[in-house]
Amino acid sequence: MTFRLIFMGTPDFSVPTLRAVAAAGHEIAAVYTQPPRAAGRRGLELTKSPVHRAAEELGVEVRTPDTLRDKDEQRAFVDLGADVAVVVAYGQILPRAILDGTRLGCFNGHASALPRWRGAAPIQRAIMAGASETAMMVMKMEAGLDTGPVALQRRVPIGPDMTAGELHDVLAAEGAELMVAGLAQLEAGTLTLTPQPEEGVTYARKIDKTETRIDWARPATEVHNHIRGLSPLPGAWCEMPIGGKHERVKVLRSTLAQGHGLSGQVLDAGLRVACGEGAVRLVELQRAGGKPMPAEAFLRGVDVGEGGEIT
């Protein structure tokens, strides 16, 4: 037995789960995703979401409503006659009519150990907070923000130098397997729902561009976590003295290092930089309009002298 289901998702993170539920033999009645957005260098080209493109490859109907609060859209959703909806990073708050619009409800794949890091940016916030572990979870959705009961979870370690991009890929793959397992248990009538504890709730607010600049006055561990938590996107950045002027540079990888000095001071020719406490070594960087490159390659075209200051 398989389900007739609706899939709701938008970014790359959602695609493995879409492909997995299709491969498991479930009938996908429709895929809901965010509408095409302006992209390209000039922002003139409308670009379909990764889920939109994957759904077209699978030959599945794609729907891109601007909102699900419209009554006609809600009726169209219900009229699909789906057993269940699978939601992974869709990008819209689901109104009650949608939550109740399938026979068995909506099940969400969420990338944190709930109730910790509810909200928009759980992967980045976990790393920025210095967590050594997170989880991928399947939960049944309700009206609150990521407050529903948990069906399944899988713990995932976070390595000391792991970036948000690397953790994203691990969790996306784990989430696909977990959702297929959850649907199988739901079909068999063996899926258990456990309410989230009331203690330990934290919120993973959306990353704001105002918090992406590196503050070298912070301890090295915090600077390191900030860099890897924002890598590759949107990317933590600083300004370096290049060619007689300060140029904005993204730092995509770092590692903790020994040393001390004034905050932002370059301690050696290998881009070891002093923080408020301790130091970090910059491992991968990206100039504006350029490609990411290892520090060694970056330094072949840039003279950031020992004793100089990065701001």
What does the pLDDT look like over 267-296, one tens digit per residue?
A: 998 899 999 999 999 999 999 999 999 999
Residue 115, marked binder: yes
pTM reported for the whole predicted model: 0.94
Per-residue b or e along 271-291, where b marks 16 or more CB atoms closer than 10 Å to that residue's CB: bbbbbbebbbbbbbbbbeeee
- Which residues does residue 265 pair with via DSSP β-bridges, in sequence order? 309
Residue 95, marked binder: no
Radius of gyration for the chain, computed over Cα atoms and rounded to the nearest angstrom: 22
Which two tokens mark 25? 């033999």
Rounded percentage of the chain residues whose pLDDT exceeds 70: 98
CATH superfamily, region 209-300: Formyl transferase, C-terminal domain (3.10.25.10)
Alpha-helical runs (H) found in the chain = 15-23, 50-58, 71-78, 96-99, 122-128, 164-188, 220-229, 295-300
Same fold, 4-203 and 209-300: no
For residue 299, which phi and psi values (nearest 5 degrees)?
A: -75, -15
Is the bond preceding 232 in cis, omega lying within 30 degrees of 0?
Answer: yes
Domain ranges of the chain: 4-203, 209-300
Report the pLDDT value the prediction gives residue 245, as an integer from 0 to 100. Answer: 84
Contact 18, 31 (CB under 8 A): yes
CATH number assigned to the domain covering 4-203? 3.40.50.170
Mean pLDDT of successive 10-residue stretches along the chain, which has 311 residues: 95 98 98 89 81 98 97 98 98 96 98 96 98 98 95 98 98 98 98 96 95 98 98 96 88 97 94 97 95 93 80 92
Report the pLDDT value the prediction gives residue 278, as an integer from 0 to 100. Answer: 98
Residue 113, marked binder: yes
Residue 173, marked binder: no
